Amino acid sequence: MTTAATTTRPSSYNDLCAAMHELGTLGSISALVGWDQETYMPPKGTEARSDQSALLAKLMHERATDPKLGEMISVCESDPDLQDPTNAEFANVREMRIDYDKATKLPGDLVSALAKAQSKAQDVWKSARKNNDFKSFVPALTEVMSLTRRKGECLGIPEGGELYDALLNEYEPNATAAQIESIFTPLRGKLSAFIQEVADNGDAPDVSFVHREIPTEKQHGFGMKVIKAFGFDTDRGRLDTTTHPFCSGFAPGDTRLTTRYALTNFPDAIGSTMHECGHGLYEQGLPKETGDFGTPLTQAISLGIHESQSRMWENMVGRSRAFWSWALPIAKEMFSPTMDDVALDPMVRAMNTCTPSFIRVESDEATYNLHVMLRFELERAMISGNLDIKDLPEAWNTKFKDMLGLDVPDDARGCLQDVHWSFGLVGYFPTYTLGNLYAAQMWETINDTITDLDEQMAKGQFGELLAWTRAHIHVHGRRYSAGEIIERATGRALDPEPLMRHLESRVRPAYGL
């Protein structure tokens, strides 16, 4: 694609961007194939889909590691017109080099084998979870983890680090397991103490009314009203259902959200919908439609930053009194007569509970991070070889009892509940809590900047909030690191205290503390 902007740039850079556009387009096709497998693909399509996924992965890897692409990057790196570190072009070339060097470390046969194993494992996981049959999942998970470990070895262990770091960097660049541990350990102590205080001294809110039966089509209709109000453009996106909610930003003008519905768990559905909408708003806010789609500056910098957007809309907005001042009358009208008797105060209290539960995606804000810490410790042990796959349920149940005080009743509500490991997404889970930390720090700055934010949200007005995220987070793509984005947006380095202040400000009133 040639525009007025591209004609003023070096031709070598335009050629490089064109090559990246083609690679990005292949990636969007691969993502679309994955989305279809999670939503509408018939069960018997698994074998063919695994072959399709493997072939696409092979083609993308060949493009990403083509020596001609490396030469194009080198030409741009030596071009005097592209050497200004403050320019977007410099940042794009810098990130392309990082991606190219990483891709060339991975053998094509490994990339293809991993894609095929992941596609098959995903289907096995669905059946294993449904039937509470972890043993049937062991061979598939073992293969995926073995290939993922090999992937980490090929990427290389960072100096002074461990194998887990190589995989973590796929999702949170430059982060290390040791750094994550240094953040999680004190946070775990504070969270545990707070959760215990609430359990010992708080007056638990009534949540019975949020478990009344509501037809899924009505829940879907309410979710659509909410995401449209948040600013999600349904002309450039859609909302569907799946087993495990996710968001895919395929390409310019095409961002897909998925959610799931439970007849008697309305908060789970609307929470998932708002969460994925936050991801979708980020994807729609990235500068993909500039003509440089496929280049790093049209992509998210890290999953932690991505997660900060989803958790902000789900929790900071979606559990607030201001939001429900606007949303509850709409819900009562759409769900009538099911929630006709529900008042604002009980609704807000019910949305800010602090009760340990088995399922991560259904957990409350305060206990959620303990679920993440559990998974971080277990996957780190699996990759290091200190935990055999067959022993995962026992290790899970023991740690779950220690962290959340509950006896896990079965593997479906234990180590089989998440899809991530069937995809080999090792290093992914820590980004959830990093996202919470980023979001809480942003939220304090946002409220200092938009002083009447609560009044706006109570009227169903979210435009100024979205504009802030677009200007301070979305527009940058990968131009700055996650840490740099946080410092630029909030004026300070990452600090865990805003998250604790946020949780206490919501939970204490809900429990009369």
Please check whether residue 291 is in contact with residue 5, taking contact to mean a CB–CB distance below 8 angstroms. Answer: yes
438 vs 177, 490, 492, CA distance in Å? 18, 10, 11
Please identify which of the residues 170, 276, 365, 377 carries the catalytic annotation: 276
Residue 502: per-residue pLDDT: 97
Share of the chain above pLDDT 90, in %: 93
For residues 279 and 273, what is the distance between their CA atoms, to the nearest angstrom?
10
3-state helix vs strand vs coil in the chain, percent to 5: 70, 5, 30
In this prediction, residues 268-287 reach a mean pLDDT of 96
95 is catalytic: no
In this prediction, residues 314-334 reach a mean pLDDT of 98
Please indicate whether residue 38 or residue 436 has the higher confidence score (pLDDT). 436
Paired residues of 238 in beta bridges: 256
Q: What does DSSP say about strands 247-251 and 254-259: parallel, antiparallel, or unpaired?
A: antiparallel
Quick one: tokens of 293? 């789609």
CA torsion 260-263-266-268 (nearest 10°) is: -40
Residue 361: per-residue pLDDT: 84
* 196-224 residue pLDDT tens: 999 999 999 999 999 999 999 999 999 99
Please check whether residue 196 is in contact with residue 184, taking contact to mean a CB–CB distance below 8 angstroms. Answer: no
- For residue 489, the SS3 value is helix
**Sole residue written with tokens 């495990």:** 244
For residues 169 and 302, what is the distance between their CA atoms, to the nearest angstrom?
9
For residues 83 and 220, what is the distance between their CA atoms, to the nearest angstrom?
50
* 100-118 residue pLDDT tens: 999 999 998 999 999 999 9
CATH 1.10.1370.30 residue ranges for the chain: 177-510
The answer on pLDDT for 1 being more than 50 is: no
Task: Order across the sheet with 237-241: list the strands.
Answer: 237-241, 254-259, 247-251
Quick one: tokens of 7? 């004609």
Confidence of residue 5 (pLDDT cuts 50, 70, 90): low
The residues near 167 (Cβ < 8 Å, ≥ 6 apart) are 148, 151, 152, 155, 383, 426, 427
In CATH, which of 3.40.30.10, 3.40.50.410, 1.10.1370.30, 2.50.20.10 is domain 177-510? Answer: 1.10.1370.30
The residues near 184 (Cβ < 8 Å, ≥ 6 apart) are 373, 376, 430, 433
